[in-house]
Amino acid sequence: MLSKEDVEKLLLKGPFHQWLGLQVASVGEGEIELTARWRPEWVVNADAGYTHGGILATLVDLTADWALVSQTGKGVPTVDLRVDYHRAAMQGDLRCVGKVIKAGRTVSVCEAQIFDGDGKLLASGRGVYMTPASK
């Protein structure tokens, strides 16, 4: 299993991940918790001030994906993704929790949940990811 520091170093190689303001809060075997620092560019409706759903979908995808990376140590491509939106995300940092549900030989299934600063569930989803070949 990779350490929190190793996962964060790999994660932050991506400029998009840097732009999202991601930080690794914790890593376990097949589990990860990330923080995404809120950015004004996330706002889709200036009057209401809520975050675009695409940001939440992105966070679901990458959090589920990186739960698998915590186990395999390798980046994995997304095969399929489903996202459910539970409430609007307003301004504020987001907590992203992901876990591996089934680690398979060719594909794996992972889930993620996105919470606001008050712990309210904003979005959740499940992804199917290619499993990297064993060494």
pLDDT of res. 15 = 96
- Model pLDDT for residues 90-106, shown as the tens digit of each residue: 999 999 999 999 999 99
Q: Report the percent of the chain where pLDDT is more than 90.
A: 84
Report, as an integer, the average pLDDT of 70-79.
Answer: 89
pLDDT of res. 76 = 87
CATH number for the domain formed by residue range(s) 4-130: 3.10.129.10
| 72 — pLDDT class (breaks 50, 70, 90) | confident
How many angstroms separate the CA atoms of 82 and 101, rounded?
14
How many angstroms separate the CA atoms of 79 and 15, rounded?
22
pLDDT of res. 75 = 83
Handedness of CA 100, 11, 21, 127 (dihedral sign): negative
The answer on pLDDT for 135 being more than 80 is no
Report, as an integer, the average pLDDT of 26-38.
Answer: 96
Residue 108 host element (H or E): strand 107-115
State pTM to two decimals: 0.94
The answer on pLDDT for 14 being more than 70 is yes
Kind of pairing between the strands at 94-102 and 43-45: unpaired
How many angstroms separate the CA atoms of 39 and 35, rounded?
12
